[in-house]
Amino acid sequence: MKKRTMTDRDIYILGIETSCDDTCASVIANGTNILSNVVSSQNEIHKKYGGVVPEVASRRHIEMIDIVIMEALSIAGKHIEEIDAVSVTNRPGLIGSLLVGVGAAKSICYSKSLPLIAVNHLEAHLYSNMIENPLIEGGLLGLIVSGGHSSLYLVDREWNITEVGHTVDDAAGEAFDKIARYLGLGYPGGPVIDRLAESGSEDLIEFPRPMMESGDFNFSFSGLKTSLIYRTKKHRELMDKGSIPDLVAGFQKAVVDVLTHKTIAAARKYGMERVFVSGGVAANSRLREEFLRLGSENNIRIYIPPAGLCMDNAAMVGCLGYHRLKRGLTDDFEIDVYSRSDL
């Protein structure tokens, strides 16, 4: 039997993500084969934790981190000794939350003499599209659209990333959440608006298309939110149960139009034939549909990960970690955490 060398054996990365609300861990092989992808808000973890986990509480990560990492290893059927490196988000995010994940990653790497890879949460979102397309080459446009971010990036052939646009106020996911809460639809707002909008007519209530023709690639969603709130203040009947689907469908269409049109325009301007869409809002069914339609109309190939990989997760952190490891980009134990760090 031929002896296997380092280059042709499988590389297992433990990914850890604690930049925001969820504590996440994943084991991924060769940056493409997800063996486990555990998120603390999942039901099974709730049961192990013994109750409902509050929406936001950074010190909660301390209570969850061991459970989530052990669960990720156990589902993957891997012992910690079989892991080749640990990849962890160290920016941007809540300092207290990031510290928990980075602390756990450093401890594991120190005690098991493993390479440590610190990654940028936003870059990891872009790489969520690499999980299913591991051999794709650089030279593309990326859109990250989530509760905290709405930004466009140029990714060159060497995978260097440059921002070409961002929201000047609210992120798209934030606009969904805030409108949902305002209308009493619950949190998170994205999925419920997505579902309600399906039974509504998106052309009945017209909303502005903010910054659609601004000439740059920035976004603005705060005015759209204000427009909806103002309208319901003037016309109380819009808040009636029967009108809500039309109201949110019109609102969703405005968000989707701005995101898709500006992204396609940016791809055309920079001559990119491929677009990576990622982040929680990329799970929105109307956005996916419109992106695929406009993509084929413009001969631009659109990549969107499955909904589960759009949300914050550690598989994307493991995937980016794998690619950085392959490029020899590991970090030492001096690495710190950063609340903000734009790509």
Nearer to another protein, 76 or 98 (CB): 98
Nearer to another protein, 231 or 301 (CB): 231
| Residue located via tokens 């299913």 | 132
3-state secondary structure of 50: coil
3-state secondary structure of 305: coil
Q: How many CA atoms lie within 13 A of 247 on its CB side?
A: 24
Token pair listed for 150: 């709405």
Question: Cα separation of 296 and 266, whole Å?
Answer: 16
Edge-first strand order for the sheet with 140-145 is 161-166, 150-155, 140-145, 274-278, 301-303
Q: Scanning residues 253 to 312, which ones bind another protein (CB under 8 A)?
A: none
Told to check if 95 binds another protein by CB under 8 A, we report yes
Told to check if 177 binds another protein by CB under 8 A, we report yes
Question: Cα separation of 278 and 207, whole Å?
Answer: 25
| Contacting range for another protein; rule: CB under 8 A; set: 24-32, 89-97, 125-133, 154-162 | 89-97
Q: Scanning residues 157 to 176, which ones bind another protein (CB under 8 A)?
A: 166-171, 173-174
- Residues 179-218, one symbol each (x = binds another protein by CB under 8 A, - = not), give --xx----x------------------------------x
Told to check if 94 binds another protein by CB under 8 A, we report yes
12-17 vs 85-91, strand pairing mode: parallel
Q: Exposed, middle or buried by CB within 10 Å (0-12, 13-18, 19+), for 273?
A: middle
Closest to 284 in 3D by CA, of 243, 252, 318, 247? 252
Q: How far is the CB of 28 from another protein (least distance, A)?
A: 26
Told to check if 234 binds another protein by CB under 8 A, we report yes
Q: How far is the CB of 244 from another protein (least distance, A)?
A: 16
- Residues 308-327, one symbol each (x = binds another protein by CB under 8 A, - = not), give --------------------
Binding residues for another protein, rule: CB under 8 A, are 20, 54-60, 92-96, 146-148, 166-171, 173-174, 177-178, 181-182, 187, 218, 222-223, 225-227, 229-230, 233-234, 339-340, 342
